[in-house]
Structure 1
Amino acid sequence: MDDAGSESTAVPLDLLLQITDGFSEERKLGSGSFGEVYLGVHPDGQKIAVKKIYDMPGVDEEQFHNEFKNLARLQHRNIVRLVGYCHHIQEVPAMYEGKLVLAEKIHRALCLEYMSNGSLEKYISDECDKYDWHTGYGIIKGICQGLKYLHTKLEPPIYHLDLKPANILLDENMVPRIADFGISRLFGDERTRATKSTLGTQGYLPPEYIRNYLISSKFDIFSLGVVIIKIMAGRAGYYKSAEMSSHEFTNLVQENWTNRPHETSSLMKAYSKQVKICIEIGLSCVQEDRHKRPTVKNIVDRLNETETECTYAYKKFDALPNKLEWHGNILQT
């Protein structure tokens, strides 16, 4: 398969059948909006994820080309990378008006880089005990950076429109990559549109879409807010946030993270403000008025500021006498 930055390779159907054991149930990794995903293992041991597009007459051809077009132009460390594709037309016998004829059966698949830690969905729990703050913050920052790339670095921009934990994949280092661009829309000059088509997932849809089918970049921002809140407060976090004031919810989440027994006390003192700002960002993203939600650039800029503030706070607490530096999203000596 190709390296990052090179053109995607056309992969024969025979090869996909071979490396997925004929798309066997044992190799199935999961399913997305428009296809099922299987683990493919090459003879040399290289692993890829093969997304076999559902056979949906009248819809699938357009959908395949839409997702392929979206993925083929994306190059960012927080976006899942397309490494190949399959578009195979097979003639198969079929009955038509009482006669046996040859009909075309189209096989479509996208080959993606394999993410060994699966989706973020399996790490979300009410206890938030499957990752420490360093990892949780790194996931939040990575998702935001990927979304910033989609919204601000592409022309025209891409709106994901189905951002949720199941569509965020994690590599061996727990670095997040945004996946499943099946319903993404390319937007030109007209950045806000109304559509009657069914998009997204219940629980991640902004009120302006539920009421008026309105789509803008703030659709993704709302979904991002729900994801951030769930990373920080668990599966029921978003619903808990609606049951109390923003101040009360922010203090509760900050206290839960700061007082975790397995976190170093002095370290979490330094990170306490970062925790507070992250949950405030999450809450600002889910405001009912879309005009009051931040842009993804605002969010990434604020996260960068917290990293500088954490470095200062850590030195202030004299937790470690050595020089402190950021390695990725983690403060280390």
Structure 2
Amino acid sequence: MNRATVAPRPLPYHLLEEITDGFSEERKLGVGAYGSVYKGQRKGGEIIAVKKLHSMPELNDQQFQKEYLNLASLQHENIVRLVGYCHETRGEYVELNGRTIFAENQHMALCFEYMCNGSLDNCLQDESSGHDWNTRYKIIKGVCKGLRYLHEELNPPVYHLDLKPANILLDEKMTPKIADFGLSKLFEDERTRVPASPIGTLGYLPPEYWSHRLVSNKLDIFSLGVIIIKLMT
């Protein structure tokens, strides 16, 4: 079932600094290829996950806008929800080659609903959790529904291209939500493509990708199969 569309709200960088205690190590939830994620708690008690994006050449204004538009359009109970964003350029004094200079620093962040039970990857590694078959089946079914939404209910469809336990988050009811769309692509049709840059994670990619670098909706399905096997065993 799709959720009512709620537009992500702009959040000033100083507020994100405040609710994450200056992006402290104690607040850090994880680190990815494109940024670090921090737990932020607002004065009203709302908890969000703040993904502070790394400063790198490939993350320019155009790329940030593309990622934002891709994420903001996703509205499904099994897709993690984008609740806010930050894109600011501030003049700041910084250290460079032993000198203090005044320069413009760009700050970009994406803010998501907070998933209190972490990632499926952590759940699978924690042998003491001992989740029963009903819980595991619920997770499998939820991931399948989320993937069907991306592939069949969106026009054009979205291919995630890095589906794995670390990119599936769990809320307080153990409802799974697909996350981390940094490598995702919009495709106008279902033809097989050859990507310009490497994608995915070792162990979750099909043979046709390793042999010919071919990408289609089947890549996500193969990754899903690996996840199901891990959950069942």
TM-score (norm 1): 0.65
Tell me the equivalent position of 2:30: 30
Tell me the equivalent position of 2:19: 19
- Cα distance in 2 for partners of 1:121, 1:151 equals 23
Tell me the equivalent position of 1:64: 64
Q: CA deviation at 1:96?
A: 8.7
Secondary structure, counterpart of 2:64 in structure 1: helix
- Cα distance in 2 for partners of 1:101, 1:23 equals 23
- Cα distance in 1 for partners of 2:80, 2:118 equals 12
Change (3 A) 1:188 1:24: same
Larger Rg, first or second structure (1 or 2)? 1
- Cα distance in 1 for partners of 2:17, 2:139 equals 34
Secondary structure, counterpart of 2:92 in structure 1: strand
Change (3 A) 1:128 1:147: farther
Number of residue pairs matched? 230
Change (3 A) 1:131 1:97: closer
Tell me the equivalent position of 2:39: 39
Conservation of the 8 A alpha-carbon contact between 1:120 and 1:170: yes
Name the % identity: 58
Mapping 1:171-186, distance limit 5 Å? 171-186=171-186
Q: CA deviation at 1:13?
A: 0.3
Of Structure 1 and Structure 2, the greater helix share is in 1
1:167 lines up with 2:160 in the alignment: no
Q: CA deviation at 1:65?
A: 2.6
- Cα distance in 2 for partners of 1:99, 1:20 equals 29
TM-score (norm 2): 0.91
Q: CA deviation at 1:105?
A: 1.3
Of Structure 1 and Structure 2, the greater strand share is in 2
Change (3 A) 1:22 1:145: same
Tell me the equivalent position of 2:53: 53
Aligned residue identity for 2:177:
R
Tell me the equivalent position of 1:230: 230
Q: CA deviation at 1:7?
A: 1.4
Change (3 A) 1:72 1:126: closer
* Root-mean-square deviation over aligned CA pairs: 2.3
Unaligned runs of 5+ in 2: none
1:119 lines up with 2:115 in the alignment: no
1:199 lines up with 2:199 in the alignment: yes
Aligned residue identity for 2:68:
F
Aligned residue identity for 1:64:
F
- Cα distance in 1 for partners of 2:95, 2:10 equals 31
Change (3 A) 1:100 1:117: closer
Higher relative contact order (CA 8 A, sep 6+): 2
Tell me the equivalent position of 1:155: 155
Mapping 1:241-320, distance limit 5 Å? none
- Cα distance in 2 for partners of 1:137, 1:98 equals 57
Mapping 1:98-109, distance limit 5 Å? 102-109=102-109
